[in-house]
Structure 1
Amino acid sequence: MKSSKEIRQAWIDYFVSKGHLFVESKSLIPYKDPSLLWINSGVATLKDYFSGKKKPPCSRITNSQKSIRTNDIENVGVTARHHTFFEMLGNFSIGDYFKKEAIEFAHEVVTQVFGLDQNKIYITYFEEDLEVRDKWISLGYEKDHLIPGSRDLNFWDVGSGPCGPNTEIFYDRGPKYHQGGPELIAKDIENDRFIEIWNIVFSQYNNLGNNEYVELAQKNIDTGAGLERIVSILQDGPTNFDTDLFLPIIHSVEKMTTYKYDIENYFKKDLEQEIINKYFKIIADHMRAITNAISDGEKPSNTQRGYIIRRLIRRAYYAGKKLNILDKTFLYKLVPIVVDSLIFKVDVNKVAEIIEEEEETFSKTIEQGKKILEEEMQNTTNKQFNVNVAFKLYETYGFPIEMTNDILIENGFSLDFNKLTKLKEEHSQKSKSNNNIITFDKQINSLTYIDKHVSDFIGYDHLELKNAKILYLLDEQNIIQKANENEVSYLILEKTPLYATSGGQHNDQGFLIQNRNKIKLLNVFKDKNNNNIHVIKGKIDSSKPIDVFVDPNIRLGLMRNHSATHLTFAALREIYGKEIDQLGSDNNQDRLTFDFPLNHKPTNEEVKKIELFVRDVINKNIERKYIETTIDEAKKMGAIMTIDESEYFDSKNIRIVEFPGITSDLCGGTHIDFTKNLEAFKIISVESKGTGIYRIRAITSFALVNQYLKNEFKKYKEIFDSLMKKYQSLYETKETKRELLKFGFFNDDIDLESKIEIVKSWIDSISDETKILLKEPNKTYNNFELQEFYLDNKKIIFINELDNFNLKDIAIQTREKIKDGIIICVSKFENQKSLVIITSKKYDILEFIKIHLKNFELKGGGNNLIWQGVSKEKINLDYLKK
């Protein structure tokens, strides 16, 4: 019996021996593909090669791609082969071999590499595709093992773009799994006897829409074979779960509970054991998805991918509780076992830590959910529970439906599952995305006629070009001579000043003029030969020259933000270390974004450092330089090469953008001449994009930064004024305004950015004070950053970095919560620290100060229970603890 690792490797080795390039699995999180929530198949990461957008590293590719599909989570554990996470084995041809070779490869892998009995193999094919049928027959397959399928069953088509017939390979596991015969396949009836293990799509046509199909000039092969299914067949497991991909996880769960998993129950059909097995399967399946998704940068949250991870963790956690696992947290312990069966790199400790934290959170959510259920049950008289409340718990709080139903049954209530199912279906339709459909960009057939680099970009030095020569004018299918007024066409010029989207920089905008006709520019993109393709709309004649114009204002914004991206990256390396990576960037004329990994969210102080670094470079007015060189020479120079610039690696001569003394980067984008041209730089947000991944969003230029600051000031001032009214109505004092005056808030010499920071700090202060006055001591206590320790058997509560205003009230409220101890409250202002020290009657404050704070310069006064004053130096906690 082969292990899953051996089976996976056998697939890879076979196709490598047939000239395929092995491509390692990409992240589960799609890169620059908003059409997908998750990578859900082997071809999903290769789409640009199939559509002709990019030139593949090899025309033959093989992979084992990790994938997630979550459209039907509730079926996991119920059926034999339903998973959220799976691996898809694939072999792909991009304009290389086609039907004959693809079928021969499949036959050899199934019968020789995997050693399956050919007499137990059944094949489906598109009923009109007799070429495929005849090829299978030539390899020795009997006609009664070849099953023709209709367009619905054996033609892969998603509405537009590449499409074509397919052929599927099924394996017959015998009558012990089902008494039916091949008619189960022909009628597409779900069963456990005939298992589909491989699907081969012949990408032969281009769907233009409205049922109009044309032959593709570049025909492709796209295949997918489920590793889990193949392993279950080769290891003779009744279900996919009864293999070495899942059983080690299941056996680890068994050690946490008195229940046991029974493989043979598939045939015994014991109902009670079936339910027990289901919970084991849920945990094993979900932990594979959770571990890999978190490892690739996702983390539990209330939105999109993070919400799905949260649901999976909570469903697995609930399954564990149904197995009577008593530990408060336990799922995180399974991460090392999950990783053992994978070939992907996983930071076990980091993933386990995130899962454990989510388990802790959910244990609290369970109590919250129970309260909601109890309140609703108290308001329900007919014992028929409100299905909308149950659905809200499921959808909003991630509360498993099974858990809700268990609690209701215990209290004698019933739940209308038909209505609940309808609600779930309606919600699914509303929020439905292309999570399970791979959509390809429409392949422009005519571009396949352009088989080399023919067009030069001159936009580094020119923003317009008169009398440009048109090399090609194309529609979607052919090279054409003319285009009419309302037609969209594709233009390739001998030279062009218009930049095409690449390297994270958006394309230029502008227009073209021919014979006094202004032609609209819709887009500029690169083809796989690095030609700039202009998507245009308007009347044009390819035999006549054309004038081309770049919008200079938009180009200036693009240059500023691209250069600022390089400087931001340099700032990050300076602050966090040379090992910091660029995970992605996106620059248009209005802003830039920059994605990078970090073990913590950048603090406000660190963000300020990044800004100051870039602003310092701006002030130095460094001249930008371009260096033409080779990849090898660029590496010797230590030039930075990122994933966004990888498309330039095909060029023998590449371009380095250098800001001397700051950074040198491989880049084909457009840039400012001097750093002063940036004018200004402001980071407007730092967002989390998954576990340990953060996105900086920033703007440049005086105009954009000043407008942003004005908007921010207006926003915070409105919030501040609202809070001020509440505050003054409660305190009836002018002390707040006096404090603002002290900090110079009304001083016109203070810039907007500093005033925003003052307002934001006072919003925080007034919010906290308002909470105290509204008698919410628990929340107030929990919001403060405090440290607890013991000194001479006295409990010390140290609360630091507070606003100066009303330290006394904060100290009093904290004492009410703590009851017993000495509370030290310290302000956050640097010049001198205001202090309030307070205690219960049990301790003497003056004696405490005399003994433990004698080495600090304190000025103030008070009594045995409370003392107020200032310290000219920081209270050193380490010294105090001694």
Structure 2
Amino acid sequence: METAEIRRRFMAHFEAGGSVGAHTPVPSASLLLDDPNLLFVNAGMVPFKPYFLGQETPPYARAASVQKCIRTPDIEDVGKTTRHGTFFEMCGNFSFGDYFKEGAIELAWELVTKPVAEGGFGFAESRLHPSILAGDDEALALWTKVTGLPESRIVRLGPKENYWSMGVPGPGGPCSEILYDRGPEHGPDADWASMGPAMDPRLEDRYLEIWNLVFTSDDLSAVRSKEDFDIAGPLPSKNIDTGMGLERVAFLLQGKQNMYEIDVMYPVIERAEQLTGRRYGADPGDDVRFRVVADHVRSSMMLIADGVTPGNEGRGYVLRRLLRRAVRSVRLLGYGDESLPELLPVSRDLMGVTYGDLVTDWERISRVAYAEEDAFRKTLASGTQIFDLAAGEVKQSGGRRLGGDRAFALHDTYGFPIDLTLEMAAEQGLEVDEEGFRGLMAEQRERAKADARAKKGQHADTSVYRGVLDAHGPTRWLAYETLETESRAVALLREGAPVGSLAEGEVGEVVLDTTPFYAESGGQVADAGTIESGGATLEVLDVQRPVRGLVVHQVRVTSGELDPASALLARVDPQWRTGARQAHSGTHVVHAALRQVLGPSALQSGSYNRPGYLRLDFGWTSALDPDQVREIESVAQQALREDLPVGWSYMTLAQAREEGALALFGETYDDQQVRVVEIGGPFSRELCGGTHVDHSSQIGTIVVTSEASVGSGNRRIEARTGVEGFAYLARERDVVGQLTTLLKARPDDLVGRVEEMVSRLRAAEKELERARAAQVLARGAELAAGAAQVGAVKLVAHRAEGLTGGDVRQLALDVRGRLPAGEPGVVVVAGVADGKVAVVAATTEAARDRGADASAIVRAVGEVVGGRGGGKADVAQGGGTDVSRVDEALGLVPTEVARQVGG
């Protein structure tokens, strides 16, 4: 059964609903959600977290979805087991205070065991083993009732396997799994009765979990670990959250051995076989690499599709690592040319059947991926040089083992994969301290886990806001209609707790029944303004929506004392709102102009706008040239000149997509109704909840002030709008005026005059450089003539005031060349300039024959002057910051030379 058919049957089963009623089909959310605890959506329930946490009221009682997910903690194990993959799809059904354990068990068992001809998956009951939380007698009784299985077939496991929580106070509950017995060839028979509360690791490959049913019923007051938590009491309503692994079910129904061999992944392996000449199934090591390729190519593509670009931290780092591991694996399989252009389109064709954006957005997706492969190939080239240097030092010292710290530095600093380090070390007859490397990697992972654990503790407690919402209902929000409302305070808060009043000078939060203030959202900052009563004036500092439907104002009492019983006047600063509208509409115009100039693949990946200023981030792999920037600005200005009408309407998300409306990566939109903002009809059509001008001419002007990189594959445009835009142009006009006065030139002649001056300045600098070089070289003969004798070696150790690195090197080499031919000679020059030390050591061939090593000399000097250095035996260079110890360092040189040459 093809993966697409499994997905279809799952959704059809729950849309029908059986005895509990139809489920609302919910499309997969983006892999990126605004959640401080998660880099990526890592489970099917994540988009529903606000409902489980009580932060929002679910719009449906029952739902079903097939959610895109990414998990990367076990990335090193990808390809080694049947269970570890980075991208996967989680099929889930959810109940929000509707059906509970019995309904969930009935629905799952029916779909899993129903014959294929009747729309089910057709798994044999004899191979299925339900599991429960040990002590959950209710679940035990329901499983025997629904399935007719004897109690001996039902596995009792402890909370490590069968209790679910989010790792923080909040909802939790016992679980039930459905395990599939793959047969004795995959492991020993299970003795469920004597196994105890923990699953025997030897059974995990044989008894494969295909579905987990979570019965969310407990309110947890503390969660110390997976098995250690406090239950404060029952939840107000019991919920169901289930997850069925699509890939796991697919490889079982397709008769495959693991997820990498299913219909939507294996063709990538087949293409890799064609490229490399290797055969899947012929060598266990190669098989792991083939699986890594299949998994990582797909995962990378899905991440890029959802707006991630390669980078050095966070989501971007995960993507970079996946892409580079895929490229590395193909290389280790024997294919050294560019591989992603051969592999990524195969995955696109397989996954594009379900996710059409992979096809429509292919130009951008492929450009980002291919640029990263090009960058990695360059990294491999530079990393190879670093490796060769490290390997040479090991050999020179007589060793046969590359240290774990060097291997880790290659991996962590230069992105050099350990597998490649092992391969290249073997080619040179060296070993690698893998144990040391793995230890350093483990330390790094532990630091990352500690950071993750720390972040989990930052889950925002919105219970107080939820209480206000439940008590008073949603805020009547009139930001689109007016700048001023008569309002009533329904809650006053200070430091997260309710208070009776706010005194002069205090900062707190006010929740109004009605407000004209725009709450920060979609890149637009919150409105500024005031809230006034008869005896108090409050400055509005910020406006947020901590829970859906509730608008909260952070305020400072500038005079009087706020009494919640008083009538209030909430007033938005009109100048602030005007500037904000201009900037937000200007962002849409710049985005449209950007796509018109660069093409439809130049999609916005983030934005920020405040009165008079906007910035827009977009996916692009190369810098824009000045002509492109000017053209973008010109298209934007033309849109303003044409006075395009600006309007908005509400429609379903599906309708918006049919209309061609653009959505921002990572944003969450209501499936029932979204707001579509149009500027000039098809010129700009985007999903947006911000405030806007009525006609494009009201933006005033758009002046692009910068274009720069904000990470690999991501660029940023900044611009000024409205009065601030004109002020920016006025400042530039003033600068031009000052230059014309200084240079006594007309504005049109300024560029030529400046170019002429720069050319003359460069010529003068070159002449000075030649004079300085001649001065430096003139001292070479004198220094060579005054060389000291250290045993058989002529030694020059000289402090050169005012010389920097290039001059120091030139002087050292010149002096070496003036020493007697064929005799051992060593030259060490320490230049001192600008509070820094530059050291160069140079040796003659005769000195090296006696054991002299310039690199060792530079390291010895560098240690004294607070720095380091390196190079080769003939010439080495270094530096330091402790100028006060230069003479001391040079005084050690004769001893070091004598030690090296034995004289």
Fold similarity call, TM over 0.5:
yes
Q: Is the alpha carbon distance of 1:55 and 1:697 closer, same or farther for their aligned partners in structure 2, counting shifts above 3 Å?
A: farther
Aligned pair in 2 of structure 1 residues 426, 662: CA closer, same or farther (>3 Å)? same
SS of 2:401 mapped into structure 1: coil
Q: CA offsets, 1:395-432, max 9 Å, x none?
A: 23322101101222332333222221222233334455
Instruction: Judge conservation of contact 1:713–1:756 (CA < 8 Å) in 2.
Output: no
Distance 1:757 1:557 in 2: 39
- What are the Cα deviations for residues 668-719 of structure 1, in whole angstroms up to 9, with x where unaligned? 54456897886664334446689987553334465688689989999xx9xx
Q: How far is 1:192 from its partner?
A: 0.8
Residue of 413, 422, 425 corresponding to 2:430 = 413
C-alpha contact 2:475 2:551 (8 A) present in aligned 1: no
Distance 1:701 1:204, change over 3 A: farther
Distance 1:368 1:441 in 2: 44
Are positions 1:564 and 2:586 aligned together? yes
Q: Report what 1:142 is aligned to.
A: 150
SS of 2:299's partner is helix
Partner secondary structure for residue 87 of structure 1:
strand
Q: What amino acid maps onto 1:407 in structure 2?
A: M
CA distance in 2, matches of 1:352, 1:656: 29
1:497 equivalent in structure 2: 516
Among 161, 165, 180, the alignment partner of 1:156 is 165
- Aligned residue type for 1:229: R
Candidates 74, 85, 88, aligned match of 2:87:
85
Q: How many angstroms apart in 2 are the aligned matches of 1:578 and 1:373?
A: 42
Distance 2:526 2:602 in 1: 28
The Cα of 1:118 is off from its aligned counterpart by: 3.4
How far off its partner does 1:257 sit?
Answer: 4.3
Cα distance, 1:250–1:519 mapped onto 2, change above 3 Å: same
Alpha-carbon displacement from aligned partner over 1:206-226 (angstroms, at most 9, x marks no partner): 656686856555654332221
1:232 aligns with 2:262: no
* Whole-angstrom CA distance in 1 between matches of 2:646 and 2:286: 66
What are the ranges of 5 or more consecutive residues in structure 2 without an aligned counterpart? 115-119, 224-229, 771-903
3-state SS of paired residue (1:593): strand
In the TM superposition, residue 276 of structure 1 has moved relative to its aligned partner by 3.0
- The verdict on how the C-alpha distance between 1:595 and 1:545 changes in structure 2, with shifts beyond 3 A counting, is same
Aligned with residue 123 of structure 1, among 130, 146, 152: 130
Which residue number corresponds to residue 209 of structure 2?
196
Q: Contact 1:197–1:225 (CA<8 Å) still a contact in 2?
A: yes
Matches within 5 A, 1:455-604: 455-457=476-478, 460-463=481-484, 465=485, 468-470=487-489, 492-509=511-528, 512=531, 516=535, 524-526=543-545, 530=549, 532-534=551-553, 544-548=566-570, 550=572, 555=577, 557-569=579-591, 571-572=593-594, 585-589=607-611, 591-594=613-616, 602-604=624-626
What secondary structure, in the 3-state scheme, does the structure 2 residue paired with 1:89 have?
A: strand
Q: 2:333 corresponds to which residue?
A: 323
1:265-303 CA-to-partner distances (Å, cap 9, x unmatched) read xxxxxxx83223222222222222233334444455555
Equivalent residue number for residue 12 of structure 1: 11
Matched, 1:428 2:445: yes
Matched-pair contact (CA < 8 Å) for 1:161–1:443: no
Q: Structure 1's 163 and 618: CA in aligned 2 closer, same or farther, altered over 3 A?
A: same
Q: Distance in 1 between matches of 2:687 and 2:371?
A: 40
Alignment match, 2:827:
none
Supply the distance in 1 between the matched residues of 2:236 and 2:512 (Cα, whole angstroms).
Answer: 22
Q: How do residues 327-338 of structure 1 correspond to structure 2 at under 5 angstroms?
A: 328-338=337-347
Deviations along 1:718-741, one digit per CA (max 9) or x if unpaired, are xxxxxxxxxxxxxxxxxxxxxx99
State the 1:159 CA deviation.
1.5
Q: Show CA shifts across 1:366-413 (max 9, x none).
A: 343222122112222232323222112212332210110122233233
Aligned residues: CA RMSD:
5.3
Q: Whole-Å Cα distance in 1 between the matches of residues 240 and 92 of structure 2?
A: 10
Asked whether the 8 Å contact 1:92–1:220 carries over to 2, the reply is yes
| Cα offset, 1:249, TM superposition | 2.9
Code of the residue aligned with 2:615 in structure 1: it is T
SS of equivalent to 1:344:
coil
Pairing of 1:658-673 with structure 2 (within 5 A)? 669-671=690-692
Pick from 687, 691, 703 the counterpart of residue 682 of structure 1.
703
Rate the CA distance shift 1:344–1:757 in 2: closer, same or farther, 3 A: farther
Q: In the superposition, relative to structure 1, how do residues 666 and 200 fare at CA in structure 2: closer, same or farther (>3 Å)? A: closer
Aligned 8 A contact 1:656 1:665 in 2: yes
Match of 2:797 in 1: none
Tell me which moved more, 564-573 or 48-57. 48-57
8 Å CA contact retained: 1:8, 1:64: yes
Give the equivalent residue in structure 2 for 1:252: 271
For 2:631, the equivalent position in structure 1 comes to: 609
Contact 2:645 2:696 in 1 (8 A): no
- Deviation track 1:64-85 (CA, whole Å, cap 9, x = no partner) reads 2232222232211222221122
% identical equivalent positions: 29
Superposed displacement of residue 198, structure 1: 1.8
- Choose 33-42 or 110-119, whichever is displaced more: 33-42
Q: Does residue 384 of the first structure (1) align with residue 401 of the second (2)?
A: yes
Is the Cα contact below 8 Å between 1:102 and 1:221 reproduced in 2?
yes
Cα distance in 2, alignment partners of residues 500 and 9 from structure 1: 40
Cα displacement (A) at 1:460: 4.6
Are the counterparts in 1 of residues 400 and 431 from structure 2 also a CA contact under 8 Å?
yes
Distance in 1 of aligned mates of 2:708 and 2:195:
51
Instruction: Give the Cα–Cα distance (whole angstroms) in 1 for the partners of residues 244 and 733 of structure 2.
Output: 53
1:284 aligns with 2:294: yes
Q: What SS is found at the alignment partner of 2:432?
A: coil
Aligned residue in 1 for 2:121: 114
Mapping of residues 90-105 of structure 1, within 5 Å? 90-105=92-107
* Inter-partner Cα distance in structure 1 for 2:277 and 2:468: 64
Aligned residue-pair number:
724
Native 8 Å contact 1:156 1:163 kept in 2: yes
Report the AA paired with residue 62 of structure 1: A
**TM-score when normalising by structure 1:** 0.67
DSSP 3-state at the match of 1:64: strand
1:195 counterpart letter in structure 2: L
How far did 1:136 drift? Answer: 2.6
C-alpha separation between the residues in 2 aligned to 1:95 and 1:371? Answer: 62
1:557–1:589 contact (8 Å) kept in structure 2: yes
The 1:25–1:222 alpha-carbon spacing in structure 2 relative to 1, beyond 3 Å, is: same
Distance, in Å, in 1 between the alignment partners of 2:720 and 2:374 is 39
Structure 1 residues 31 and 241, CA gap change in structure 2 (3 angstroms) = closer
2:283 pairs with one of 273, 279, 283: 273
CA distance in 2, matches of 1:477, 1:34: 19
SS at match of 1:253: helix
Superposed displacement of residue 154, structure 1? 0.8
* Cα deviation, residue 14, structure 1: 1.2
What is the one-letter code of the residue matched to 1:422?
Answer: G
- Aligned residue number for residue 25 of structure 2: 22
Q: Where do 1:31-42 residues align within 5 Å?
A: 31-33=33-35, 35-42=37-44
Aligned mates of 1:193, 1:690 — CA distance in 2: 44
Distance of aligned partners of 1:79 and 1:745 in 2 relative to their CA distance in 1, 3 Å threshold: farther
Q: How does 1:364-383 map to 2 (within 5 A)?
A: 364-380=378-394, 381=397, 382-383=399-400
Which amino acid in the other structure matches residue 7 of structure 2? R
**Higher alpha-carbon deviation: 640-649 or 82-91:** 640-649
Structure 1 Cα separation of the partners of residues 7 and 659 of structure 2 = 37
